[in-house]
Structures are given as structure tokens and as C-alpha cells.
Amino acid sequence: MKYESVYSFEAGTDGAGPFGALTSASGALYGTTYLGGSDEYDGTVYKITTSGAESVIYRFEGGSDGARPFDGLLNVNGTLYGTTQEGGPSDNGTVFKITPGGKETVLYSFKGGSDGEYPRASPAELKGALYGTTYFGGSAEDGTVFEVKSGKERVLYSFHGGTDGARPFAGLIGVGNTLYGTTSQGGSANDGTVFSVSVSGHERVVHTFSGGRSDGATPYAALISVNGTLYGTTRSGGARNDGTVFRLTASGKESILYSFEGGDDGSTPDAPLLEVSGALYGTTRLGGSKNLGTVFKMTTEGSESVLHSFEGGLADGFGPFAGLTVFNGVLYGTTPWGGTYKRGTVYEVTL
């Protein structure tokens, strides 16, 4: 295994604070930065090659075009889709698309009421429509699941903040004709949930997290599906309250694969997992040899090994919030902090 920092953001026009994962398209990698870009510091969409040549393809202006993209992008047939958690006419966030050449189009601007507010996660695509979540808004101000199709938005479900869940931070995945996601709060113990929702808007809580030593709590990450089983992370809960990796059947049977101990093994996994050749890969925001985060590998039986412990400073990033992307057999990720200019990095891990 070899780790290498590929690019350090400068916080000027090239962007700063990449919280989202990278996405491959047209032979390169694309991502977003939360800050930097224009004079208003409203974020960017950037392109980066595996050799570290970075170019900004779009700088958000903070007006109707959107501002502050938090998550990464979705590639659908060569067009990239994403969200901004601010901007738009009501400053409540947008759903946008952008070509690899940098032509941006806003598909929907949230009004901040029953339609939702503050989308933090990139959308998912299912049968020609985009589906996503908003952290706020909806009938109870506890977030929504929405659909955007042909420029029109439809709220599939508004969270009530009770046992049904509240404040979905992560995006959705489609399994068959059903969407699955997580809420960071709500549920019977207010430690978050895993839920499913149909495209007609029927929501079902698949699992309610109970926290404590025997279960996770506060999932910030989206789920992945591996051979019909769902896998995810929680940022807290588990044996040391340092987070967990869990698996879940479609019927709702949950088991904890691994509880982070908060030492060299990592702590606070905020990012989704990535499956490559039967193994799971992920990041933790804290823990590791200097408590600045890790890149880890895990078997589906729960055996964990650390591939890299972030060291911070000028030569390395720290505090990875995003998950990993595999491109040409190499893992790529981002850190929102650290690097030469202390404004975040892109890194690679060769397996």
C-alpha cells in the first residue's frame, strides 16, 4: 500500500475545503469545494487528473446559481449532478447539473418551506429522476426526501422528528425500486434511523439506532448495497462511543461489524463505505496515530486494518469527511483541511 498527496488547495480561485468525495467522468476526477472560487467564497466544481493537474470548471457566485456545495457529484451518462446547501433565489439551496466543460444549470431552487431546505448530499438517480434529501424544511422542519424530474420538485416524504427519523444528512441509494437512506436524528432513541421510501412516498423505518455499547448512533453517511445487504457507518455509538461499521438486511436485521476504539484504529467515521473486490474501504475523521483521521480496510466479517493515518501539516491532509472513489484500480479521496496551504487536499492510496 502506498499513500500520496496529489494536490493541495490554495484557498483562492482554485477552491478550499473539499468535504465531498470525487467522481470519475471523461477520464478524470471531479469534485466540489465548499469554499473558495469567486470573491464571495461560495465554492467550486473542479477537475483533477491523476497526476495532480487541477482546474476549476465552475465557480459559484452565491446567487441564483447556488452556493457552498457540501457533497460530491453524481455522474449520469457523462453529465454531473449535485446540490448546493445555500444559494438560489431564496438562499435555501439548489439542485444543479454541470457538464465536464463547465456549463452549469440549476434544475431546482428550494424555497425553504414545505419543499425542503439545506440539501447537503448529492442526489441519486433512479429511472430518469433525481432523488435526494434536505436536512431542514418539510412540514415539520426536520427534513425531506424529494424528487426532481424535468425541472419540477416533488416531496416524497417530510420527516416528523419522532420515531420516523429526523435531519437526514446523507443521500440515498436505490435498490430495485426502493430508496434507502439514514437520518442523523430521530427514531425511538433519537440516535438516528435507517429508512426506506418508495417513489410513491411510503416511508418505513428499517432500523432504529439505540446507541450505547451494543449499537451505533448518529449516522451521517449514505449506505451501500453489497449482494443485497446494506452496509453503513455511524459517527458515534459502539463499544467506546467512537463509531461503528454495521450491516443490515432488507428485513431490518442489524449487526455491528466493528466498533472503533478511538486509538490507532480510527474514530468518528462520517463517510460512506466503498466496496472493492469483496472488501470494504472507508475513512474516519479522527483517530489514528495522531488523532487526525485514517483510511481503513475492512472485511465483510469485521476485521479492520488501517491503510493510512493522517499526519496533518504541510505534507498531508487531515480530518477526511468524504468517502473514497476507485479509479483505474487506485483509491482517491479528499481532506477538507491540511496540505501545503492548509485548505485541503486530494490524495491517493495505491493498493
Q: Report CA-CA distances (Å) from 303 to 104, 274, 300, 306.
A: 43, 15, 8, 10
Q: What average pLDDT score do residues 274-289 get?
A: 98
CATH class in words for 41-306: mainly beta
**pLDDT value of position 251:** 86
Confidence of residue 185 (pLDDT cuts 50, 70, 90): very high
- What CA–CA distance (Å, rounded) separates 230 from 252? 10
Q: Is 202 exposed, middle or buried (0-12, 13-18, 19+ CB in 10 A)?
A: exposed
pLDDT surpassing 80 at residue 307: yes
| Torsion sign, CA atoms 300, 236, 35, 147 | positive
**pLDDT value of position 12:** 86
Nearest Cα residue to 14 out of 340, 350, 348, 317 = 340
Confidence of residue 149 (pLDDT cuts 50, 70, 90): very high
Q: What average pLDDT score do residues 151-160 get?
A: 96
Q: What average pLDDT score do residues 116-126 get?
A: 97
Nearest 5°: the CA angle 312, 233, 217 is 105
**pLDDT value of position 250:** 83
Tell me the one-letter amino acid at 132. G
**pLDDT value of position 275:** 98
Confidence of residue 40 (pLDDT cuts 50, 70, 90): confident
Which residue did the predictor score with more confidence, 237 or 38? Answer: 237
User: DSSP string covering 251-270, please?
Assistant: T--EEEEEE--SSTT-B---
pLDDT surpassing 90 at residue 38: no
Nearest 5°: the CA angle 272, 275, 281 is 60
Listed by start position, the domains of the chain span 41-306
Residues 6+ apart with CB under 8 A from 343: 8, 9, 10, 11, 15, 16, 17, 35, 36, 337
pLDDT in tens, 101-110: 999 999 999 9
Contact 336, 34 (CB under 8 A): yes
